[in-house]
Amino acid sequence: MAQKLTDLFQQQKANEPWVSVEFYPPRTPEGVENLKGRIERMQKGLNPVFGDITWGAGGSTSELTLELSKAMQDDYGLVTNMHLTCTNMPAEAVHTALEEAKAAGIRNIVALRGDPPNGLDG
């Protein structure tokens, strides 16, 4: 089971710097493959404490965010912190996203209001 970020933070030594990484879901299949390679390189090169995957406004990247979060955790061994932006999302969609993240073993979620998609009011 994936570790919680709070536990990881407690394990870090005082006054020693640490790194986290954040990625947003690409728009193309080629971009997804490029990102997966980048995640792997950064995991090996930087040894980040955790990685974030952002969530598109209104759930526009929800499936890809979940897929990338699972890959970052399962394929690359990086503790994952998945963003969940709730603006313009029905409560049922938020609940579904949380259930899917739980089923995938993702224990760290940043739930935010977020900005509305371009042209829409929040």
The three-point CA angle 67-18-48 to 5° equals: 25
Sign, CA torsion 46/52/35/97: positive
Q: Tokens for 60?
A: 């526009």
Catalytic (active-site) positions = 22
Q: Looking at the DSSP assignment, which residues form a beta bridge with residue 22?
A: 52
Q: Tokens for 6?
A: 């709070």
